[in-house]
Amino acid sequence: MSNIVVPELGESVVEARVARWLKKAGDSVEVGEPLVELETEKVDLEVNADKRGVIASIAHQEGDDVKIGDVLGVIDESGAAVQAAPPSGNGSKKTASPPSVSPKPEAKAEPEPSAAPEPEPEAESPAPTSDPLVSAKPKAKAEAPAPAREARVVPAAEPSVSPKPPAKTARREERVRMTKRRATIARRLVEAQHNAAMLTTFNEVDMSAVMALRERQKEAFKKAHGIGLGIASFFVKASIAALREFPALNAEIQGDEIVYKHYYDIGMAVGAEGGLVVPVLRDADRMTFPHVEKAIRDYAGKAQDGSLTLEDLRGGTFTITNGGVFGSLMSTPILNPPQVGILGLHKIQDRVVPVNGQPVIRPMMYVALSYDHRIVDGREAVQFLVRIKHYVEDPGNLLLEG
């Protein structure tokens, strides 16, 4: 016998949920064959068979929460005893149920037809019972139309009752258990607000220079690198330049100490079907614009098909989230603990702004910085966002900054 156990789940992940069994008791399995899918707070993963044999038993069903090392099921390497068990069990249920159920409907079906014809003669018999007044029969037939007309008026009033059916339709509710990821997102967002002195400051950025640069370089950039030039890479590079000037925003609190990080792992928030995920551009300061764009594209694809790994999500020193892709004009992003800063990007929208005393239309974007006020002062936060504005409005500054 060989146990199927919950494997190591990655950094800081100790619990998972059984999402789906790919095999059932009695199924034969080969070495390396996927047996069960586990759902964690970060990614979903498969547990594969390490032995050849037959699934002897399943200890945890779909929906059960499990921890590292828990036994999910057992593989019988001989495979003899279990293969015979499922057919015999299924056969016994099929043979037992039909005889007990089939005679009952047949017994009920016989009296019903015999009872049905009986009311018909009874319905005719009441007419002869009124024979004592034979001379009244034609009168009754003649007078019958009058009450019939009165009876026909009643149904005419019934349509006023027709609105009742909509009232019968109850307001529908559905109760669905949270996925591990959604539950973790909910918990961490609440923790972020309870455990940090979170504040948000805003500014606006004139995107004219970036838009013009993208327009000039888009064909050459795509031809050279096989990918389009987006705006995300500009903000990644601008953020790194600003973080160098304001290191408190690239730090975290551990107990009564501040840990300043001299590397730049930038998290890029991606909206996926199962919930928000934040894959990390590791050592983003060493990445070129094409590398940043390719990494973001790859992460977005992996988020959609569910192939992100724990390594993709590990760590992160600062996060960027772009609500503008969904049409958001302004928002207050929530910190991604233990990070102390998150930059929110938004929709680019033409607005009238003053330039040299004259009103002009420019593509403008609101940007937001949420920060932990425990170690980041308001002055630093405001100046940080001003530096972001400085670098994006004149991208040439990024080249000079290096």
Which residues are annotated as catalytic?
A: 373, 377
- Which residues share a beta bridge with 24? none
DSSP secondary structure letters along 175-236:
--PPPHHHHHHHHHHHHHHHHS-EEEEEEEEE-HHHHHHHHHHHHHHHHHHSS---SHHHHH
Residue 353: which of 344, 343, 363 has the closest Cα?
363
Q: What are residue 322's phi and psi, to 5 degrees?
A: -120, 90
Query: In whole angstroms, what is the distance from residue 323 CA to residue 345 CA?
Result: 6
With H, G, I as helix, E, B as strand and everything else as coil, classify residue 330.
Answer: coil
Which residue(s) pair with 369 in the sheet? 201, 343
Reading phi first (left if > 0) and then psi (alpha if -120 to 50, else beta), residue 278 is in beta
Measured over the CA atoms of residue 116, residue 117, residue 122 and residue 128, the dihedral's sign is positive
Gap between the Cα atoms of 371 and 320, Å rounded: 12
**What is the distance of C-alpha 80 from the center of its chain?**
42
Residue linked to tokens 């192939």: 307
